[in-house]
Amino acid sequence: MMNAPVGGAKHQLLPSCSILALLAALALPMQAQAGGTRAGSTISNTASASFDTGAGTTTIDSNQVDLLVDELLDVTVDSSNPADVPTTPGATGQVLTFSVTNNGNGVENFVLSTIANAGGDNYDPVVTQIYIDNGDGVFDAGTDTLYTPGANDPELDPDESVTVFVVATTPGAVVDGNRGIVSLVAAAVTGTGAPGTSFAGQGEGGGDAVVGSTGADGTDAGAFIVSAATVTLVKSAVVTNPLGTADPIPGATITYTIVATVAGSGSVSGLAITDNIPADTSYVPGSITLGGSGLSDAVDADAGDYNGTRINVALGTVAGGQTRTVTFQTIIE
């Protein structure tokens, strides 16, 4: 004849608010970190029973069960670039940023590698180096550490992250709008495999190392987007003469119009339009215009100048989708 165990009300003893708050604060250090109970630690469980068989209260302990906590091998890789990173054809030193996190419960080294030819994009970036960040999160080849597989595989504590830079060259043959994907792979040095795969005796603290849900390797992709621009120039001429006709007779004025059109998602910088004054014509002083506004012939603050043989208009940086119109005049001698 057994009695079901009940959580009897007589055992309820709710302490006052202030005492409970203090105790809750004291209990906080018992919380394990996100990576889990540290590999190599022991979980011990013992229960006790108290009872009265007529001779007062007796308390006994149960046997103790000890469980060794194995090392769980888990790692994640995350791209730190919120969007595709702009690049240009033939550019070197193009950087993708990743974060590698040890989600396991032991200290572990991770081998880094990249995959650039997995498809799903327009071209394969050429990975030239991998760098380990010095902690400031900003790529600097002078202060960050060049990574060599097997030589300086980053060692991470449980829950620790490290920033990794993948440096690549963009092939010269790519065109505007092309996308190139590079994936960073981080794999536990102890081993990888299906979740649950065990490496006997290789765990931190003497236990086994067991592959966790991530397979002990992580990967994430970052991408470059080619942002290039092309320039087309169209030149036209209109002749006017004192006779009111369009005949190119001596004394007639030729008005040249040069339209520069920039196309593509990128922009061109340092764009300048230069045109030599044709033979047997003479330049009309002060006739250069840019976008309908006159420019002086002198080399000065405005964009245009005439040096005796050619006109020059410096357009600077022009974004794709924009045009610039330059005109000047000559007189037929």
Partner 1 sequence: MRTALFLLFSALLPTQALAANQVALANDVFVERVSTDTTGKQRILLEEPKVVVPGDRLVFVLNYRNAGAQPADKFVITNPLPAAVRFADAGDTRPLVSIDGGRGWGQLEQLTVAMADGTRRAAQPDDVTHIRWAFQKPIPAGGSGKLMFRGVVK
* 175-177-178-183 Cα dihedral, nearest 10 degrees: 140
Q: Which listed range, 2-10, 127-135, 167-175, 233-241, lies at the site for partner 1 (CB under 8 A)?
A: 2-10
Q: Does 279 bind partner 1 (CB under 8 A)?
A: no
Copy the structure tokens of residue 271: 């764009």
In the complex, minimum distance from the CB of residue 195 to partner 1, in angstroms, rounded to a whole number? 10
Q: Does 157 bind partner 1 (CB under 8 A)?
A: no
Nearer to partner 1, 34 or 298 (CB): 34
In the complex, minimum distance from the CB of residue 117 to partner 1, in angstroms, rounded to a whole number? 35
Contact 327, 288 (CB under 8 A): yes
Nearer to partner 1, 184 or 210 (CB): 210
How many residues of this chain interact with partner 1, rule: CB under 8 A? 62
Nearer to partner 1, 48 or 276 (CB): 48
How many alpha carbons fall within 13 Å on the CB side of residue 126? 12
d(CA 37, CA 45): 15
Q: Residue 34 — φ and ψ, nearest 5°?
A: -60, -35
Contact 253, 241 (CB under 8 A): yes
**Chain-centre distance for alpha carbon 80:** 4
Nearer to partner 1, 10 or 308 (CB): 10
Binding-site string for partner 1 from residue 193 to residue 212, where x marks contact by CB under 8 A and - marks none:
-----x-x------xx-x-x
Nearest to 120 by CA among 164, 191, 178: 178
Interaction residues for partner 1, span 103-122 (CB under 8 A): 105
In the complex, minimum distance from the CB of residue 70 to partner 1, in angstroms, rounded to a whole number? 4
| Helix (H) or strand (E) run with residue 326 in it | strand 323-332
Copy the structure tokens of residue 193: 């495999």
Kindly list the residues in this chain that would bind partner 1 in the complex (CB under 8 A): 1-3, 5-8, 10-15, 17, 19-21, 23-24, 26-27, 30-32, 35-37, 41, 43-54, 57-58, 60-65, 67-72, 105, 198, 200, 207-208, 210, 212-213
